[in-house]
Structure 1
Amino acid sequence: MAKHTPMMEQYLRIKAEHRDSFLFFRLGDFYEMFFDDAVLAARELEITLTKRDPGQNEPIPMCGVPYHAAQNYIKILIDKGYKVAICEQVEDPKKAVGVVKREVVQIITPGTVMDHGMLKESESNYIASLTHFNDGSYAIVYNDLSTGENSIALIEEGWDAVFHELYNQSVKEIVISSELPNEFQEQLRERLHVTLSYQDEVNFNAEFRNLCDHLLNDERLMKAFSRLLNYIQHTQKRSLDHLQPAKVIKLDNYLKLDMYSKRNLELTETIMKKGKHGSLLWVLDRTITAMGTRLLKKWLERPLLNKKRIEERLAIVSSLYDNFMERDSLRETLKSVYDLERLAGRIAFGNANARDLIQLKQSLQNIPEILSVLELLNDNQEIKNLMERLFYPKEIVELLETSIIDEPPISVKEGSIIKEGCNETLDKYREAAKNGKKWITELEIAEKEATNIKSLKIKYNRVFGYFIEVTKANLYLIPEDRYERKQTLTNAERFITPELKEKELLILEAEEKSVELEYELFTEIREKIKDHIPEIQFLAEVISTIDVLQSFATVSEANNYTRPNFVEKELKITQGRHPVVEQVMKNGSYVPNDVSLNDERTILLITGPNMSGKSTYMRQLALTVIMGQIGCFVPCEHADLLIFDQIFTRIGAADDLVAGQSTFMVEMLEANHALQHATENSLILLDEIGRGTSTYDGMALAQAIVEYIHHHVHAKTLFSTHYHELTSMEDELDRLKNIHVRAEEHDGKVVFLHQIKDGAADESYGIHVARLANLPAGLISRATAILEQLEDKEKVNTVKETSEEMEVGQLSFFVENKQATKSVSKEIVSSAHKKVMEELKEIPLFEMTPLDAMNALYRLQKQIQEQ
């Protein structure tokens, strides 16, 4: 540092304390960056890289952004996962001795953004903390700083459960201990694409006692919450009065969706485009307010298990569904309600302007209208309960109504904010300024008459104040010694008089004091509103709930959805539809289908050609279940639904290249996750398991997985397959039923009917599908010829193996006689295989995991092949 100027030494000292952030160092009207910060920022922001002290042997890299435009540049860096430390001048340069004192006043990170221009209205902006404990448990704390929301969940099922939970939330930044294993840190960084920050201080800060009184008896939750609170306090360095007490999330109270299911079902975004369009959220979102949209997404990510709470939501949706006029009136009223959650956050944070307060007032003024609409719907207890939670905050509205003008400027430091009559002193200042300006106007008229100069003007600028301006052509008309010359211009002269300067002093003093007093009054009003933040946040929660429920009613009526019944024994959906596919088609051509599952019919084995609708049928069941358990009507004619505790899916082939996993490995991981965690109250959807490996391996695995689910898991399961040989399991597994998607062939062309029927499909129609995909005609002809050859060869092999009584010990999965397909369990004549058979008999199949069964089967197969 000895080589640098005092200012650069100051910069380096501050930068040393914020090595993981860009340091925006305030110099005049610019934020400057130096050294490595400058080089990286110039590249990321695409701005010019210059040098400080260019004449020195080692000039310093330097770049900067204008103070007034800094927000746009900060947003770019935050969106890319960086952090920005804002370093401001904290003393008056005129009073400074030596270098002006500077301090970091805020650290902006991806998870702590507060400026509404950097936030997406419809999305929560979560920062999370992750704390691990010696007993193998973890605690995750979520915070949305823009709304003050806090929640905390304890996870005792290991790291995989932690990863699935974090994946399901819109987390931008995760605060961890520096001792978290590196492999876990890499997974978080690479697979969740989040910014990692470190905070090892987990001691309780008494300042936040009101947020965690209810956690004092749980040391783990206290440590976890304290970690995040300490980090937020360290980075924000200002009032956090809007933070709400932490809600303890008991994950067992919600339907669990692992990361695979959320992705495969496309609940909030599509797999391909990563956008909202085409997701279930896209279909259901007819909310009016931004806070309603955010709440809808939260509900989708955590469907309910409590039947009573589900029915309460459905009862309100039903009332809104049946009363179109009242619902439409409610929607119109909600259009005048702004984002109360984030308005409360900005007020507490100290960056709310007068327009924010007017938006708050206008929003709260709509509560009586909302109440009057609900009064018209007052036909059930659930509506009454909702009305009891909604109240009119008269004190807040009256304060804002009597103090802030209806159309204030954006700036809070330039006046014209406070209404007349609000403050007596302010009114006097304004009157003085007003009278002074009136005197100026009267003086201009008098001087024109006295000098007979019609073009004479009295003007004002910040350099000279008030002055009299006369064009050079009229200078001869000015009486001698009347004015004092102040400035000469090309075409005019400017003059002052002692009387004019005296009035100028009075006017400017009154205006300056008026502006200063207005800012003081505004901050006082903002502080008074801050005392009511808990009320505003409570009202925001109620109004956003109303918004989501009216959205459900609006969508349900528009799309002809039905209120579901929740039953104990049999799931039965009549004429069910896929909510998203139905909307995309938009031509009424969607073919509905029934679903039936009960204790005697727990597994549906679905066969049928590609493109026939197997995956759509499976997804529509899962989406119907989720819609029902968030309290929405469902797309069908009639629905008796079970309440599921978990949904597991393996739908679609998607390599996880980031984790270095192939399609088949992803299949096995997702299937294994379902088998390990599903209960008899879970729903499992498995699509084409085993297609990522050889035919025999895939078929063996598929059958073993189905049998394992049937014998051990007992979950309701939909299992689609192209292995038609598996349909014989219906004869062996009493709770498995075959169903298929109908397709018909006409004149060599296949027609997909998209209808689900009982029984197994008789053909796969693979070449027909290829023809529909417009593959070259020559290729189709060649494939048809090859298929015929293979089928003829298979028939020959079948006859040969039957006549030789399987003397070579090879098994055929293609024998037309159904009994021959079960030959795995029959005696094999060849003595070379007796040892293998004995070992096979001793394998405890139903006590093994699918992966263990696969390994054992593979080992035995290798032994046979080596004979």
Structure 2
Amino acid sequence: MTDASALESKPVPSAAGATPALAQWFVAKAAHPDALIFFRMGDFFEMLFGDAEVASAALDIALSYRGEHQGEKVPLCGVPAHAYESYLARLIRRGFRVAICDQMETPEEQKRRKAPTIRREVVRLVTPGTVTEEALLEAARPAWLLALAPAGDRLGAAWLDVTTGAFGTESLPAADLTSLLARLEPAEILAPEALARGAALASLAERIAHLDPPRDGIRRVTEAFGVATLDGFGAFAPEEITAAAMAVDYVRLTQAGALPRLAPPVPTGGRGLLQMDGATRRSLEILRSERGDPRHSLLGAVDRTVTPAGARELAARLASPLADPAPIAARHDAVGFLLAADAVRAALRAALKGAPDMARALARLSLDRFAPRDLGAIREGLARAEAMA
């Protein structure tokens, strides 16, 4: 049994007879049955019942008991609220989804309301494909959320990175799914249950969230971008729009109704890209060695980037090699110019070295989940851009 699937085997007791605070936990758990509930209690986030048993084993922290519910002791474990991100990162990397149920008022406000307990609500659902915290992200790699919508013998695919706003779509033969998966290496996959049971996704069960495609995909996507039509973004197959709507809906769900700053979806159609299956990619060791080590890969051998955004762009270009001569020649011309212009190249590298990750700082800002360092990153990034202009 895998770490995340262990949660499914833990029954949730009835809420009958729960204390006011415990009743809030049951409401959160009913809304997110497949997630661990981080339940704020003062200076700690606590996990209860089966969540506590699973999380204590995954995090190697003490399992204790407090009080009773329906005549049984309540299993409990907790992590300090001021350091919760490090524990959250460990759980996300092991395939768990975590619902953050936070306190929405102070004890003084509770007293003024004469309420039996502090009001708590789920403020976000943290999943592998929707994280924004630096501690949970790999600076040099995108965190793709991939949505898949079946349409006969074809699939609509939409992938977005909530940390940078990048958003792409494609309509492809269902048989080409393994190639797409190998190219994107998504952090999380959205798929209807029937598709998730297929051979192409069987080995990726822990990365999959079951989600049925919506019937009104066009309306959902146009509303998300505040436009009347998608014509200005390009030509989309119906299944691409459906997949894009799945991705947008899921991001809204995980962010308590909010959407990060997203670029308009780009219908790529796989045009101009060299098509390779997963086995070919693994044998070429493009992004990581056959043992999974990125240091001993093609990327590790050629990466001389000095910014996180540059590292992500290089990885994306290596993972999606061009097949058309014209854009290949354009890239060669750009490389040739910089190789010949030693002074320009040195000045650009000096200006870029240590530049902050503005894209991810902007994403946190757009979700109202920013820290002072994110504002500092934007200030520093703009200053460096002005210096290079």
Match of 1:228 in 2: 247
- Residue 258 of structure 2 aligns with which residue? 239
2:201 maps to 1:188: yes
In the superposition, the TM-score normalised over structure 2's length comes to 0.88
Matches within 5 A, 1:482-561: none
8 Å contact 2:162–2:260 — kept in the other structure? no
1:137 aligns with 2:119: no
| CA root-mean-square deviation | 2.1
Match of 1:790 in 2: none
Residue 260 of structure 1: aligned partner: 279
- Which runs of structure 2 are paired with 1:575-614 in the superposition (5 Å)? none
1:200 paired to 2:185: no
Contact 1:238 1:349 in 2 (8 A): no
- Cα distance change, pair 121–4 in 1 and its aligned pair in 2 (3 A): same
Question: Which residue of the partner structure matches residue 635 of structure 1?
Answer: none
CA shift at 1:2, angstroms? 2.8
Q: 1:152 aligns with which of 158, 161, 169?
A: 169
CA spacing shift, 1:249–1:210, aligned 2, 3 Å? farther
Aligned length: 364
The runs of 5 or more residues in structure 2 that have no matched partner are: 1-14
User: 1:173-210 CA distances to partner (integer Å, 9 max, x unpaired)?
Assistant: 101113426234xx4242x4651112225233253134
Give distance in 2, aligned partners of 1:369 and 1:54. Answer: 63
Instruction: Provide the C-alpha distance between the structure 2 equivalents of 1:2 and 1:118, rounded to a whole number of angstroms.
Output: 37
Query: 2:190 aligns to what SS in structure 1?
Result: strand
**Contact 1:333–1:370 (CA under 8 A) maintained in structure 2:** yes
Aligned match of 1:32: 46
Q: What CA distance in whole angstroms lies between the structure 1 residues aligned with 2:375 and 2:196?
A: 46
CA 1:241 to 1:15, structure 2 compared with 1: closer, same or farther past 3 Å? closer
Letter in 2 for 1:23: I
> Does residue 63 of structure 2 align to residue 49 of structure 1?
yes
Equivalent pair of 2:172/2:269 in contact (CA under 8 Å): no
Residue aligning to 1:176: 191
Cα contact 2:306–2:354 (8 A) shared by 1? no
SS in 1 for 2:223: helix
- CA drift at 1:216: 8.0
Shift of 1:127: 1.1
- Give the distance between the partners of 2:70 and 2:239, measured in 1 at CA: 55
The correspondence of residues 378-417 of structure 1 with structure 2, limited to 5 A, is none
3-state SS of 1:292 partner: helix
Q: For 1:106, which of 104, 124, 131 is the aligned residue?
A: 124
Q: Does 1:213 align with 2:230?
A: yes
Give 1:74 deviation, angstroms: 0.6
1:2 equivalent in structure 2: 16
One-letter amino acid of the structure 1 residue matched with residue 379 of structure 2 = K
Q: Secondary structure at the match of 2:142?
A: coil
CA distance in 1, matches of 2:57, 2:202: 22
Matches within 5 A, 1:351-362: 351-362=369-380
3-state SS, counterpart of residue 183 of structure 1: coil
Corresponding position of 2:362: 344
- In 2: Cα distance, 1:170 partner to 1:119 partner: 14
- Which of residues 300, 310, 316 is equivalent to 1:298? 316
Gap runs ≥5 in structure 1: 372-867
CA distance in 1, matches of 2:180, 2:310: 23
- Counterpart CA distance in 2 for 1:56 and 1:200 is 36
Aligned to 2:335: 317
Q: Does the 8 Å CA contact 1:150/1:243 hold for their aligned counterparts? A: yes
- Aligned partners of 1:82 and 1:195 also within 8 Å: no
Displacement of 1:304: 1.4
Question: Paired residue for 1:821?
Answer: none
Higher relative contact order (CA 8 A, sep 6+): 2
Call closer, same or farther: CA 1:354–1:2 in 2, change over 3 Å: closer
- Confirm or deny: 8 A CA contact 1:174 1:196 kept in the other structure: yes
Distance, in Å, in 1 between the alignment partners of 2:34 and 2:282 is: 32
> 1:22 aligned to 3, 18, 36, which one?
36
The 3-state SS of whatever aligns with 1:326 is helix
Letter matched to residue 314 of structure 1: H
Identity of matched residues, %:
29
Asked if the contact 2:156–2:171 (Cα under 8 Å) also holds between the matched residues in 1, the reply is: yes
Q: Runs ≥4 in structure 1, deviation > 3 angstroms?
A: 54-57, 209-212, 214-218
**TM-score (ref. length: structure 1):** 0.40
Partner of 2:352: 334
Partners of 2:235 and 2:269 lie apart in 1 by 17
Paired letter, 2:165: G
Quote the Cα distance in structure 2 between the aligned partners of 1:40 and 1:83: 12
Equivalent pair of 1:188/1:194 in contact (CA under 8 Å): no
C-alpha distance in structure 2 between counterparts of 1:189 and 1:342, whole Å:
31
Q: Is the CA contact 1:7–1:99 (under 8 Å) kept in the aligned structure 2? A: yes
Change (3 A) 1:152 1:56: closer
CA contact (8 A) 1:336 1:362 kept: no
